[in-house]
Each structure stands twice: as C-alpha cells, then as structure tokens.
Amino acid sequence: MTIYASRYFLIALLVGRLIFVFAQHEESLKRHVGVLSSNLYDGRLTGSIGQKLAAIYIQEQFDSVFVNTFSLNHLIHGGTIVSGSTTLNYKKHFFYSGFDSIFSANYNTSMHKTEICFAKDLFALRKRNSDTNNIVVYLIEDWVSFKDLFGHEFKSEEFKLDINVGLKEVFIDKNALMDWENKVLQLNFIHSFQQRQTENLICPVFWRNENKNTVIFCAHYDHLGTNFPGADDNASGVSLLLELAKLIKQSNIVFNHNIVFVFFSAEEQGLFGSEYFVNQTKLTSSEISLCINFDMLGFTQNPSVYLIDYTLENYYEHLITGMNNANVQINWEHQTAFLNEFSSDHIPFVNAGIPSLMFFCGLHENYHSPKDTLDTLDFKSMNSFLMMLYNNIEVLIR
C-alpha cells in the first residue's frame, strides 16, 4: 500500500510540476505582450522612443545581444488646403498620397474628379481610379473610420504607399469642408526626408564553432506608432520567441546547427530590417540553412496556425511526417513562389535562396487597427503552440 501511495505521489508531483511550468510560460507570454503593446511603447514605430524601449526590453531577456544599427530615410508629409476662408490642416482634416515633390495648385471640385464616399468603399474606389493620371479628391463621410482603416498609411515619418505612380489622391474630412460644391481648393503640400536610426537585435541562443550551419528564428518587433498597440502584430511573435529561447537554453539538447534569434525592425515600412540583415550579415546564404519567421500568432480567430513553407519538397514532407501537432491544428501551405498575403520578414531570405518557413495565424478585423490589443489574444493556444514547437524543435532544425 505504501509503495503504490509513493508512486501515486510521485506521479501527482510530476503532473503538478508540468502544469505549473505550462502555466508559467502562459503567464510569461501574456506579460511580454502586455509590456510591448502598452501605452508606454506607443506603437513601436520604427525609429521612435517606443521602438527603442522595445529593443531594450528584448535585450534584457538575453545574456548576449548584438545590436545591428542602420538608417532609413522617412518621408514627412505636411501642408494645408485652403477653401475660401477655411484652412484645413494635414492629418487633422486631410491626408494625401502620390505627391512626390512639394506641390501647390488649384483644384476645382466642379471640373476635376471628386468622390463622396464612406471609408469602407475606398478599397473599390481606389482600385477603380488606379489608371487616373490626375488628382482625385475623396470627401470622406466617416472620418474616424477612415483613420482607423487607412491612418497607418499616412503616419508621419512613414514611407509613402502608392497604388499607382500616376495617381495623386487627397482624402478630406467632408464635415470639415463645408459647402464644397463648385469650390476652388488651394492645395499646398510639403514634405521632406528625415533620416532615422533603428536596430535589429541578433541573439545567439545555441552556438558551437564546429557547427557548419545556422538556423535563424525571427520576428519583427516594430509596429505602426501611436494608437496602434500591435499586440498580435507582432508582440505575439516576439513573445513566443522569447519563451522559446528560454526553453532551448534550459534544455540539454546539443544541436548540430547553430541557433540565432533575430528581432527585426522596419518590417512595417517594407521588410527593411530583414533585407538589411540578409545583405549585411557575416553569415553567407550557404551557412544559413533555414529561416523560421513568427508573425501574428495571437490565435485571435481559431486554435490553428498556418505553416507557410518555402523549402525543398523533401524538407516539406519531412516536416509533415515528423511534427507532432496534436494540440494545435496546422494548415500546411507549401509555396514555390512569393505570395503577397504572406509578406513578412522571411521574404528577403527566400529572395536570397534560403529555405524559409513562416508561422502565421492569418489576418483578422483587428489587423493594423487600434483594436489589436492584449485582451483579443488567446494565450492558452499560444502556449500550446509554444510547447508544440519546443517538443518538435529537433524536427524543425534537423
């Protein structure tokens, strides 16, 4: 009786310890996302104080970090629109796109193309107008909704996002432009370039000089700036890498590949952090055997994840047969070419001929909006995904 009791006690102790460890990682994931998406970090816009604070936070989680500093040129918009005695101010009352130099001209609303619309209709309207080689003015009925949907494109110090080089667009709060019909608007647009410094963070998690190849795990830690918390995009990916690094370092596994975690900046501006890394790293493309990218893994829709695969067919088959995914549903996507909907920091690696994977839970209604907050994430599913990754780490980086 005593023997059985002891066995049950040991089993209960072991199970209790596993539950404690499991819960511990879940709380750590939540803590990381909570910090990175907090108001203090102000949306982590590339080059901002919030991005620098996020970099410091990530560095504090590692014993050794190489800070890879580089510069970006950012376009700063500005100006006014004058209508009679009314002056509209940039960002408060209007935005513009497609003007690549200082611009001053009259726009007659009765002679040129003027669209009155709701923000939700802009996607279709902009596509329809994409062949226009003139100025299109959109008078937006719901200005707050417009800024929620499109405001990130026009944040100061951001790169210009144009649908078509010939298309010049002006977006105006209709309520700020009273009695607009048959009006002549004086457009006065200014912009200049400003150089900003930002940082990639390179963190060796496992390294032996005799290893010939290196596996890169990566996630971008920048986001869109003020009013954009970026909990899922991409504090979720960063938090998973932080906890995965902890698990790897605590293990006794001896890998035949070096493992380096890289946290990229300037992803939102156009994958510039990862492009800089691929072009500037001392590691050659033959020495990097695999890139594994984590982007938007907050499981905000359902307990499943896409594994987007840009590798040789035999490696893809090896993953499918080798990974134990009992706790997390994996949607396998084997790609032979670049796909825009999966655009993220693995793409510069793919373009350099380096086999790559992307873990991704899919786009959702909170994507690139102020609603991408801590409370929308499913940390139990994130934790299950973390444990699945760790349990299959040797299959991933064979």
Indicate which CATH number applies to the domain containing 333.
3.40.630.10
Same domain? 363 vs 260: yes
Q: Taking the model in full, what pTM does it have?
A: 0.71
- Of 154, 182, 210, the residue that ends a domain is 182
- Of 151, 182, 213, the residue that ends a domain is 182
b/e 341-371 (16+ beta carbons within 10 angstroms → b): ebebbbbbbbeeebbbbbbbbeebebebbbb
Same domain? 50 vs 158: no
Same domain? 245 vs 383: yes
- The answer, yes or no, to whether residue 381 has pLDDT greater than 90, is yes
Same domain? 177 vs 227: no
Q: Does residue 150 form part of some domain?
A: yes
pLDDT band at 9 (very low <50, low <70, confident <90, very high): very low
Q: Does residue 205 form part of some domain?
A: yes
Read off the pLDDT of residues 77-87 as tens digits, 9 standing for 90 and up. 889 999 988 99
Position 6 scores a pLDDT of 55
DSSP calls for 365-386: TTTTSTT--GGG--HHHHHHHH
Q: Does residue 17 form part of some domain?
A: no
Same domain? 50 vs 141: no
Same domain? 155 vs 39: no
Amino acid, single-letter form, for residue 232: D
- Distances 190 to 81, 95, 187, 333 between C-alpha atoms, Å: 11, 12, 10, 44
Q: In terms of residue numbers, what domain contains 90?
A: 85-182
Read off the pLDDT of residues 239-259 as tens digits, 9 standing for 90 and up. 999 999 999 999 989 999 999
More confident site: 188 or 99: 188
Same domain? 291 vs 151: no
Same domain? 317 vs 389: yes
pLDDT band at 333 (very low <50, low <70, confident <90, very high): confident
DSSP calls for 239-290: HHHHHHHHHHHHS----SSEEEEEEES-STTTSHHHHHHHHH-SS-TTTEEE
Mean pLDDT score of the chain, rounded to an integer?
Answer: 85
- The answer, yes or no, to whether residue 339 has pLDDT greater than 70, is no
pLDDT band at 370 (very low <50, low <70, confident <90, very high): very high
* Backbone conformation region of residue 227, classed left if phi is above 0, alpha if psi is from -120 to 50, else beta: left
For the segment 112-123, the average pLDDT, to the nearest whole number, is: 90
Same domain? 307 vs 273: yes
H/E stretch holding 7 reads helix 2-36
Same domain? 323 vs 362: yes
Same domain? 49 vs 129: no
Same domain? 90 vs 39: no
Read off the pLDDT of residues 198-230 as tens digits, 9 standing for 90 and up. 999 999 999 999 999 999 999 999 999 999 999
Tell me which residue of 66, 70, 69, 92 sits closest to 79, measured CA to CA: 92
Q: Does residue 14 form part of some domain?
A: no
- Residue 216 tokens, joined: 């890169």
For the segment 311-324, the average pLDDT, to the nearest whole number, is: 76
Q: Does residue 80 form part of some domain?
A: no
C-alpha 286 chain-centroid distance: 27
- Of 112, 147, 182, the residue that ends a domain is 182
- Distances 210 to 52, 205, 206 between C-alpha atoms, Å: 34, 15, 12
Count of structural domains within the chain: 2
Q: Does residue 114 form part of some domain?
A: yes
Position 353 scores a pLDDT of 87
Q: Does residue 29 form part of some domain?
A: yes
H/E stretch holding 17 reads helix 2-36
For the segment 282-309, the average pLDDT, to the nearest whole number, is: 86
Q: Which residues pair with 113 in a beta bridge?
A: 136
8 A C-beta contact, residue 356 and residue 310: yes
- The answer, yes or no, to whether residue 18 has pLDDT greater than 90, is no
Q: Does residue 272 form part of some domain?
A: yes
